[in-house]
A and B are shown apart, each in its own frame.
Chain A
């Protein structure tokens, strides 16, 4: 059987379809850079929808209220943290541009501002984050105002318990009620948030759910729900549900498999190709090499081999979950280019004794080194190639989990990497 290799020639190839990869593609698109985006599915589908910037300082006992001030302090404490290598102005611009893009495509976000938001978690704890989707925005406000509120959960929905939420947040939120209802037309057995969200894209489901919510609300003015308010048009679904119930509604993110991450993934997978980005998702790049003409990426999909030729590359392959780093028994490796990885001395030092140790585990600070232009360093300590940049949590000297800074690192470093790519490309033209 005859098989042809498909070939795409672009200015920029972004490797990685997580938050950093997609953000890089968005920034490149906005700068009219011809872009191809590929790489493993990554962890995007697991995200909560919250866009963190910096939520917990190292080893501190309380969360960060003012991330800008915390960043200033971080600048004094560490010269290597990816966020301190990006100016506050660039971080602000990156968030604003990224959130605007999401808003234009159906998932509005709160305006990135001066303070962190005290966001809600499904366990009834709170977490500091920077921007929240519009569908979740009423929750933190209702908490702050201690408005009369009912948390509603659903028969058959696992891992989200209104009683658990209320039991844990009750001290901060007096009078909070827990209610359980059945989702309209749900059968017996487990029901997934994704199924509920898609079903709420239909007016008929919204009407039935609104009736059930009104009945369950009691004296509440606000209702909190697991994140199920639509998949493709959450803003529209929220508005419709509020209109139908006459109540304020908000979503609370849930454990995987959850809706907010799938929303983002589907948004990107439609919006980017729709605006000209070549997207080859769910594929691992097998080889990347640079020569005088540019970069060559080889990969394959169901259909056969694919080659991407690019003038510049952004490596946004993430960490262990997405395959950007590999933890081998002997050492941590960067598998695509075998870039040197800064890491603890041995496997015995990767993790602390206690899992939930607030100081975090040393393995999370492992990663690749870059120069000021976010170019990964090779074995010789110099940029691996002038046309290669890196973004996201693959970067060393940060612990995105403990510091609640994953999206911040992804978005801000993608912004910087694309800035540098723009420079590289203009040099190439000049």
Chain B
């Protein structure tokens, strides 16, 4: 990793650990105050819960019964983000619908609860709801409209990083994992890290250290000897359908439960979630039972979900703040907490955790306020007023952006690499060029994270090969690394496919495997062919 040898790398004002929306949000918030930072992630952007959720910009209505405070926060952030980062948002609007069997009492109270939380909520006739969303069940008995929307966390994170780089020269380093801290005199002096690509160990010196590790925040805090971060781990499983099933965000009008939200993700729909308490953070994968439960519950709202073609299922761990009592996970606050760790004897370390995608900006702002103050920087945060620049190079994560641009450009020479999502050579080249921090280590997986490549029907089985060949053609790969990257990329995609491989996906997978293993031998790369 060439940039890691840069003398500037190990020293910075602030080290942020965790490349989710919160970590990248802090990076930008600080940059807007003129503070330079380094952001590291053990994988790549949005590898945790930031990339593993519905992509739902909540109106807050989901939480009016369980967590009115979070509900109000959501609504405020919802309005703000729609104004400041419209390029990351599809303003779909949301529906809350009750179907036969759902408690009429809850449905009856809903409008009042929304009103109290400041959330615009309009009851609409059942017939109108079904006209707006023809896929809805004919067993509908009540429906409301709320200002839910869909948001693209990958683009948010990429644009946060790019804006920070432009504003303050802040730097992002993927695949850098925190191993421990050097502490002395009530302060952290350096963070010990490992570059997981090269295996190289490095120490990063900074004045302030921010733990934005999401579900891993408790573990990271403990590396610094801090026991004041207490999280519950709630595993959520979601499904991605092959095409877009509904125009709006559709919520079940009942207390939060399994399979009760369907969110459009551009050209697909995301259904979820389940909620299961787990202790282990790694090796989390969807089970057949979780998948089936989501579908069964979702189908009560939208019957077509029962027979839909699903192309992925994934699970991520939500970090929930541990309160008292034994409340069910869904009833645990969706609020966030900032720990300044003063009680743990550290004056330049903080941890921000809990919360949710919709409120990431507010989380970043509160952490940044603390960091700035500690650095003696008294400029106020401006993320509530400065629009997030619409960054051309980050546009490829938007579903449908690549095909639309390709059709408009009409350049036959710009051949398509990913046919499902129509990602062309020029798009891939631009992604490779504009991720300077990744440099030589750019992989098929990293390209996929920065675009829609591999996210369509074939789940990378054809485009993985084509992108790999293209990277050999451009000289990016010169040895067997490319094939190993191809295999790793396919192995990674598979994790999200494993539990939904029935029907058409079983056929697709059989073809993919015949190609990848039967022909190319990716199952025996290191062995004697």
Direct A/B contact, Cβ within 8 angstroms: yes
Q: A interface vs B, CB < 8 Å? A: 43, 46, 48, 56, 61-63, 118, 121-128, 156, 158-161, 163-164, 167-168, 180, 187-190, 253, 255-256, 319-321, 326-329, 346-348, 350-351, 353-358, 360-361, 363, 400-402, 404, 406
B472 touches A320 (CB 8 A): no
Report the Cα distance A63→B495, complex, angstroms: 27
Residue from B502, B520, B523, B524 within 8 A of A328 (CB atoms) = B502
With known contacts A62-B527, A357-B523, A346–B288 Cβ distance under 8 A: yes
Report the Cα distance A188→B413, complex, angstroms: 5
Determine if B469 is an interface residue (Cβ-Cβ < 8 Å). Answer: yes
B507 touches A321 (CB 8 A): yes
Can you offer 12 A-B residue contacts whose CB atoms are under 8 A? A156-B415, A161-B470, A164-B483, A167-B472, A180-B473, A189-B415, A319-B510, A320-B506, A327-B506, A346-B288, A355-B491, A400-B518
Contacts of A354 in B (CB 8 A): 491, 494
With known contacts A321-B510, A402-B517, A327–B412 Cβ distance under 8 A: no
B503 touches A187 (CB 8 A): no
A127 touches B507 (CB 8 A): no
Report the Cα distance A346→B292, complex, angstroms: 13
A401 touches B502 (CB 8 A): no
Q: Apart from A156-B415, A158-B415, A329-B502, what 13 extra A-B contacts exist at CB < 8 Å?
A: A63-B528, A63-B529, A121-B521, A125-B529, A189-B413, A256-B511, A256-B515, A348-B287, A348-B288, A355-B493, A355-B513, A402-B518, A406-B518
A-B contact number at CB 8 A: 162
B529 touches A160 (CB 8 A): no
B side interface size, CB within 8 A: 57
Residue from B469, B516, B527 within 8 A of A164 (CB atoms) = B469
B499 touches A347 (CB 8 A): yes
Binds A, one of B4-12, B196-204, B427-435, B474-482: B474-482
Interface centre among B479, B480, B499, B528 (most CB of A within 10 A): B480
Residue from A160, A189, A256, A353 within 8 A of B469 (CB atoms) = A160
Report the Cα distance A329→B524, complex, angstroms: 30
A328 touches B503 (CB 8 A): yes
Contacts of B501 in A (CB 8 A): 327, 350-351, 363
With known contacts A126-B521, A128-B529, A356–B288 Cβ distance under 8 A: no
Q: B interface vs A, CB < 8 Å? A: 285, 287-288, 292, 412-413, 415-417, 462, 465-466, 468-470, 472-473, 475, 477-480, 482-483, 486-487, 490-491, 493-495, 498-499, 501-503, 506-507, 509-511, 513-525, 527-529
B303 → chain A, closest Cβ, in Å?
A: 16
A125 touches B525 (CB 8 A): yes
Q: Which residue of B lies closest to A257 (CB)?
A: B462
Interface centre among B466, B473, B483, B506 (most CB of A within 10 A): B506
B478 → chain A, closest Cβ, in Å?
A: 6
Residue from A125, A128, A187, A256 within 8 A of B462 (CB atoms) = A256
Q: Which residue of B lies closest to A160 (CB)?
A: B469
10 closest residue pairs by CB, A with B = A189-B412, A355-B494, A164-B472, A327-B506, A161-B469, A126-B529, A62-B528, A320-B506, A347-B288, A327-B502
Residue from B292, B493, B510 within 8 A of A320 (CB atoms) = B510
A401 touches B514 (CB 8 A): yes
Q: Which residue of B lies closest to A164 (CB)?
A: B472
Report the Cα distance A156→B502, complex, angstroms: 35
Contacts of A187 in B (CB 8 A): 412
Contacts of B487 in A (CB 8 A): 356
B528 touches A61 (CB 8 A): yes
Interface centre among A158, A188, A347, A355 (most CB of B within 10 A): A355
A355 touches B490 (CB 8 A): yes
Report the Cα distance A320→B513, complex, angstroms: 12
